[in-house]
Amino acid sequence: MTTIDGSSVKKVIVACDAGMGSSVMLASTLKKQLAKNGVTVEHSPVASIPADADVVVTQAGLADRARATVPDIPVVPFQLFLGDPVVTKLVKAIQDGTTVEV
Amino acid sequence: MTDYTPAATGTGARARVQRFGAFLAGMVMPNLGAFIAFGLITSLFIPDGWVNKIAGTQTDVSTQISSVVGPLIVILIPILIAFTGGFRVYGHRGGVVGAVALVGAMMAPVALPWLTGISLNGEEVTRPGSIAEIGPTILAAFVLGPLTAWVLKKWDNAIAGKVKGGFEMLVDNFAAGIIGGAMAVVGLYIVGPITFWISQGLGWLANALISTGLLPLVSIVVEPAKVLFLNNAINHGVFTPLGIEQAADAGKSIFFMIESNPGPGLGILAAMLLFGPRAVRPTVPAAMVVHFLGGIHEIYFPYVLLKPILIVAAIVGGATGVLWEVIFNLGLVGPASPGSVIAWALVSPPDNLALNLVGIVLAAAVTFVIGALLLGFGRKESAVDAAIDLEAAQEKSAENKAAAKKA
């Protein structure tokens, strides 16, 4: 388990294999949810996650590759692209500035 | 180092295959716009395309516009792929030398008198007289793009800091020119002939699979690979190159349909909606829209991973679709990417449109029926399923992973 301090998150990266399909979809959802909090949400392929990300969100099947790309950035793996509780928890923590165990 | 970064190397076999596939797909996918332009012009303006079909005669305008089709597929697309492969290894300079080198390989069958193809269907093989008659050299692009860029990168690193001030541009430009030109010669005499024969062999194998009716068996590999997030690797690393070779020759290809058929995914989602674990049912309708219309197949993979037995349904459904396509000799004129029903309709040849859509419906229906059976029509929902909540499922998959790693 790792603890993420929601108040320190300024840049969220949503990663998928090609960085063109599912990550774009989830990133646009998160962008709307986090717009008020001044948090940048971007999408990228797992092979080229930008090093200045504070947290990486990706599907569990791609999490190993995300960790290999950015070993020092916490990776939050989720199961479902829509309505996954882990993603909801993370969003809430960032909105409220609280910490979350993921 | 936290628990979140235990496998910093990501050396699992699956991650390795994913990474190699992503490397190939990464050369194709940024260029999908060119493939789609090729597909649309083909379906509209070739002799039996929509325009002539609707006009009821061979129109001059479609004859003129269809002249764009050949150069797009045999010249532009391979060069774009070689450029992108080089670009990903060493930026713009890498892309440029990769594209230069590919032109050597492209010309191999034109320039080399000893390089002739094998006969695929009993027709006599003629050597292409000019670049307009060659096939698309995607395989050579996969090799020469990254390889040439890598050579340039090594050279640049070797001389870094050793160039006298003011001579940097001269050295940089001529290094790129000489390495690109030399690799074009390597492409012409070595990489071009080798990839030409490999392409011929693959083409022969693909034809054999189609003519013996064994092609539906590829679903046994394709459907499980898809849900392990190898979908792009398989589609754009394997099927798009094969399809482009076939489409350059026959005007359409079945290989564009194998991975991109949205039917099996729709069937899985429909089965999940009606008979899946109750906790996940509410998330399914939105997923169906994104999958079937938006063409983002990734969205159904987690549902299969939640209930792995469903992969059987996807395999049989996928194979049903392929069988249908083989029986009626169907194809798409270009890659349907993303794999949405809308993309399928837009790149279907006019004569195949209705039957292609039936192929999607069949695949979806078969997957749904088998999926529903495997889920026991929801009635057999066990205590385990009833209690299923996503967090528990995630913990379980983490455990599975840990166990798999130990093994």
Model pLDDT, residue B3: 37
Model pLDDT, residue B210: 87
Instruction: Please identify, among B212, B229, B252, the residue that sits at the C-terminal boundary of a domain.
Output: B212
CB-based burial, A7-41: b 16+ in 10 Å, e otherwise: eebeebbbbbbbbbbbbbbbbebbbebbeeeebeb
Token pair for B299: 């969205």
Q: Which chain B residues contact residue A17 at CB under 8 A? A: 18, 22, 25, 229, 231-233, 298
Tell me whether residue B30 is in a domain. no
Model pLDDT, residue A91: 93
Tell me whether residue B372 is in a domain. yes
Confidence of residue A2 (pLDDT cuts 50, 70, 90): confident
Cross-chain residue pair B397–A67, CB shorter than 8 Å: no
Burial of B164 (0-12, 13-18, 19+ CB in 10 A): exposed
Phi-psi region of B376 (alpha: psi -120 to 50; beta: other; left: phi over 0): left
The range of the structural domain enclosing residue B75 comes to 59-212
* Active-site position among A16, A46, A70, A90: A16
Judgement on whether residues B194 and B333 belong to the same structural domain of the protein:
no
- CATH number of the domain residue A43 falls in: 3.40.50.2300
Judgement on whether residues B114 and B254 belong to the same structural domain of the protein:
no
**What are the tens digits of pLDDT across the range A32-52?**
999 888 899 999 999 889 999
Nearest CA in chain B to A71: B8
Model pLDDT, residue B406: 44
Tell me whether residue A102 is in a domain. no
Q: B351: closest CA among B374, B373, B333, B369?
A: B333
Model pLDDT, residue B388: 52
Could you tell me the pTM of the whole model? 0.82
Nearest CA in chain B to A1: B3
Token pair for B283: 């998330």
Instruction: Please identify, among B162, B190, B212, the residue that sits at the C-terminal boundary of a domain.
Output: B212
Q: B8: closest CA among A52, A83, A70?
A: A70
Comparing CB atoms, the residue among B2, B14, B298 nearest residue A22 is B298
pLDDT < 70 regions, chain B: 1-11, 119-124, 380-407
**β partners of residue A75:** A56
Tell me whether residue A64 is in a domain. yes
Q: B249: closest CA among B151, B117, B358, B140?
A: B117
| Minimal C-alpha gap between A97 and chain B (Å) | 21
Model pLDDT, residue B123: 62
CB of A28 within 8 Å of any CB in chain B?
no
Judgement on whether residues B237 and B372 belong to the same structural domain of the protein:
yes
Tell me whether residue A2 is in a domain. no
Judgement on whether residues B340 and B399 belong to the same structural domain of the protein:
yes
Instruction: Please identify, among B165, B184, B212, the residue that sits at the C-terminal boundary of a domain.
Output: B212
Model pLDDT, residue B4: 34
Model pLDDT, residue B205: 86
Phi/psi at B9 (nearest 5 deg)? -85, -25
CB of B228 within 8 Å of any CB in chain A?
yes
Decide the pairing of beta strands A99-101 and A3-5: antiparallel
Tell me whether residue A28 is in a domain. yes
Number of domains in chain A: 1
Model pLDDT, residue B8: 36
Nearest CA in chain A to B282: A83
Tell me whether residue A69 is in a domain. yes
Q: B312: closest CA among B379, B366, B386?
A: B366
Judgement on whether residues B148 and B266 belong to the same structural domain of the protein:
no
Q: How far apart are CA A71 and CA B253, in angstroms?
A: 42
Judgement on whether residues B66 and B204 belong to the same structural domain of the protein:
yes
Phi-psi region of A74 (alpha: psi -120 to 50; beta: other; left: phi over 0): beta
Place of tokens 């030409």: B196
The DSSP secondary-structure symbol of B31 reads G
Judgement on whether residues B182 and B320 belong to the same structural domain of the protein:
no
Model pLDDT, residue B218: 93
Judgement on whether residues B220 and B328 belong to the same structural domain of the protein:
yes
Question: If DSSP codes are grouped into helix, strand and coil, which group holds residue B365?
Answer: helix
Model pLDDT, residue B90: 96
Helical spans, DSSP H, in B235-281 = 240-250, 263-275
Tell me whether residue B99 is in a domain. yes
Best mutation target, A58, A82, A100, to test chain B (most B CBs within 10 A): A82
The range of the structural domain enclosing residue A49 comes to 12-95
- ipTM, interface predicted TM-score of the complex: 0.80
Number of domains in chain B: 2
Tell me whether residue B37 is in a domain. no
Q: One-letter amino acid identity for B14? A: R
A16 is catalytic: yes
Judgement on whether residues B191 and B219 belong to the same structural domain of the protein:
no
Token pair for B156: 């640049």
Q: One-letter amino acid identity for B177? A: G
Helical spans, DSSP H, in B160-255 = 168-186, 192-211, 219-225, 231-234, 240-250
